[in-house]
Structure formats: structure tokens, C-alpha cells
Structure 1
Amino acid sequence: MNTFVRRFLGDRGAVCTELVLVVPALLLIALLAVQFALFWHASHVAQFAAQRALAAARVEDGSAADGRAQAGRTLVGLGSRVLTRPSVTVNRSATQTTVRVDGTVTRVIPVPGLTLRASGTAAGPTERITLPAGAAR
């Protein structure tokens, strides 16, 4: 019985040591999962804002300013806490319209130098009225 008591007392504190080593690792893994989910969500927000901006900028009477304004309204409506410091670039020509929305993803893990950027791009033909070949105006 005396050896049993000595063996039992020899393992005192083993659980505390294991918790000190394992819990921070588990918390880091959980925070990395949350950071990845925020990056994924911010990418979808940027893509949706780019698509909405494209729809506004490519219409016949639309302009690049209309696309930028629509992207801004979409980003404000979806919440600007996930995609911070967004920038919207709209290029509109007579035949093609392209929109790009970029931004920084909110950080969950305060690691210096860890800056994730999310972006979304949408492109399509600019709408214009055309006449069939050989038709008179």
C-alpha cells in the first residue's frame, strides 16, 4: 500500500502541466478557424459588391461613378466590419466594364504582419444599342 501512495503522489500536477500545454494550442486552432471563416466571408462580400457595382455601371446610361456608388452602398449595407478599408476600382469602356473590390479582413489573431486581403472581381460587356448589319438609322 505504501508504494501505491508514493506512486499516486508522484503524479501530482501532471494534469495541470498537460492543460497548460494543450489549452493554448486548442485556442489557437479555434482562432485560426474563425480567422479563415472571416476571410471566406469577406471574399464573398467583396464578390457580391463587385457584382452589384457591375450591374450599375454596365447599363447604357450608367457610369463608373454609378458603379463605385453602388459598391459603397452594398458594402455599407452588408456591414463594413468584416471587410475594412475597401477600395473599389471601376473601368468602363464602350465594350467592356470591369469592377474590382479589395479590402482588408478583420483580424482575430493579433499577430504583427498578418494582414489578409480579400477581393472580388466582376466583368461583363457594356450595354449599348446596336442595329443589325445593313439597317438604316
Structure 2
Amino acid sequence: MERARDDRGAVTTEIVLVLPLLFTLVLVIAQVTVWAHATHMAQATASHALSATRVEDGTVQSGRSDAQRVLDQLGHGPLRGAHISVTRDVERASVRVEGTATSVVPFLHLPVHAEAAGPVEKFHLADQAAP
């Protein structure tokens, strides 16, 4: 009987200590998942915008508008405050998408960024001189 009285409240103490840790772990896993999805959205946006920018008659504006169209289609869920920067010169085009992931864990704002770059397409006429 004496031993049973010594264990009183042990389960309550364990629950009070374990449950907050378990809930925190679940929230951190959810935050990582949201961040990964936001990163995937940013990468898809950068890839599509690069395709529109690097074509022969592509422009920086066409890349920006394509990026915005992709973001609108994907929705504004996990990627917040997306900033798109597109550059193109004679040889290369590049797109950078930056933003933050939606916060699941309070006061945790994880940055998201993605980049895509490639050469500008150039078409050359084949030599028509035959031997």
C-alpha cells in the first residue's frame, strides 16, 4: 500500500512534460513541410519564367508576367511575399524568386528562394553552300 501512494501523480507529471514536446515536434514537422512546398513553388515559378525569358524573342517583362501567372495559378498558400527578379543580356537569362514560407510555428519565418539560369536561345541558319 505504501508503494502505491508514492506513485501518485506520476502519470500526470509525465503527460505535462511529454505532450508539449510532442506538440512542438508535430508543429516543426508541419513547418518543414510547408517550407518544402513553398520552395517547390518558387522553383517551378523560376523555371517557367526562365523558359519565357530565354527564348529568342523573349524579354524581361515576358519572364516577369509568366512568373506572376504561375504564382497566381499555384495560389498564395505557402509562399508569402514573393519577389521576382528577371535579368537577360545577350548571352544569359536568369530568374530569382524570393519570399517566405507561411508560418506554422509562431514567430518562425523561414526564407524561400529559388534561381534558374540558362543561355539565351539563338538560331543560326545552316550554311547553304554545298560542295
State whether TM-score is above 0.5. Answer: yes
What stretches of structure 1 of length at least 5 have no aligned partner? none
Normalising by structure 1, we get a TM-score of: 0.87
> Aligned to 1:88, what secondary structure does the other structure show?
strand
Calculate percent identity across the aligned residue pairs. Answer: 43
Is 2:109 the partner of 1:122? Answer: no
Moved over 3 A (4+): 131-135
The number of equivalent residue pairs is 129
Larger Rg: 1
Residue 67 of structure 1, aligned match among 63, 69, 77: 63
Aligned to 1:9: 5
1: CA distance, partners of 2:117 / 2:126: 25
What stretches of structure 2 of length at least 5 have no aligned partner? none
Is 2:95 the partner of 1:83? Answer: no
Aligned to 1:46: 42
Residues 80-130 of structure 1: per-residue CA shift (max 9 Å, x gap): 12010000010011111000111111110103xx32111111111112233
2: CA distance, partners of 1:119 / 1:130: 35
2: CA distance, partners of 1:46 / 1:11: 54
Normalising by structure 2, we get a TM-score of: 0.90
2: CA distance, partners of 1:70 / 1:24: 44
1: CA distance, partners of 2:19 / 2:57: 59
